[in-house]
């Protein structure tokens, strides 16, 4: 099992950041790598079990299922159902924790998955930097962080 963990501090309160990232269908509004997204079967984007299908800027199609969503814990957990990356049993969690000093928040994005032997490092780098860190960098730019 490959594990990826990326964290960052965003110069905005957890409530504000959560309002930007909470929408399971809202990736195109805040993540630079996502071109478009839709929730299948017309379900609400905050219903556990809903499935989002989105396209990356590179043209790949990914389907993910929402496993948990907590407004209290500022977290969401999802699994990849289909992806061109060659991962299986992929489960990820995006979580915010308020930092009371300065009205900031601590953001964590982690994932566990399986993949073909020899691809672990490449996929961990792609997911960790190209997806998770790229998302945090976009949030920091939006909220005026360093």
Convert the pLDDT of each residue in 56-74 to its tens digit: 998 999 999 999 999 999 9
Rounded to an integer, what distance in angstroms lies between the CA atom of residue 60 and that of residue 55? 5
The tens digit of pLDDT for each residue in 95-137 reads 999 998 888 999 999 999 999 999 999 999 999 999 999 999 9
Domain ranges of the chain: 2-142
Strands 61-70 and 104-115, sheet pairing: unpaired
The tens digit of pLDDT for each residue in 15-45 reads 999 999 999 999 999 999 999 999 999 999 9
3-state secondary structure 52-98: EEEEECCCCEEEEEEEEEECCCCEEEEEEEECCCCEEEEEEEEEEEE
Q: Which fold has domain 2-142?
A: Alpha-D-Glucose-1,6-Bisphosphate; Chain A, domain 4 (3.30.530)
Rounded to an integer, what distance in angstroms lies between the CA atom of residue 120 and that of residue 1? 9
């Amino acid at each position: 099992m490959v594990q990826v963990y990326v964290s960052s501090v965003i110069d905005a309160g957890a409530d504000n950041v959560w309002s930007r990232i909470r929408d399971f269908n809202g990736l195109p509004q805040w993540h630079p790598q996502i071109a478009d997204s839709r929730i299948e079967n017309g379900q609400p984007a905050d219903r556990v079990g809903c499935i989002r299908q989105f396209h990356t800027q590179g043209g790949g199609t990914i389907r993910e299922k929402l496993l948990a969503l907590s407004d209290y814990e500022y977290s969401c957990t999802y699994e990849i159902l289909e992806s061109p990356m060659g991962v299986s049993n992929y489960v990820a969690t995006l979580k915010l924790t308020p930092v009371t000093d300065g009205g900031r928040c601590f953001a964590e994005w982690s994932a566990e998955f399986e993949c073909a032997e020899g691809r672990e490092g490449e996929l961990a780098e792609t997911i960790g930097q190209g997806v998770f860190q790229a998302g945090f960098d976009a949030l920091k730019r939006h909220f005026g962080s360093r």
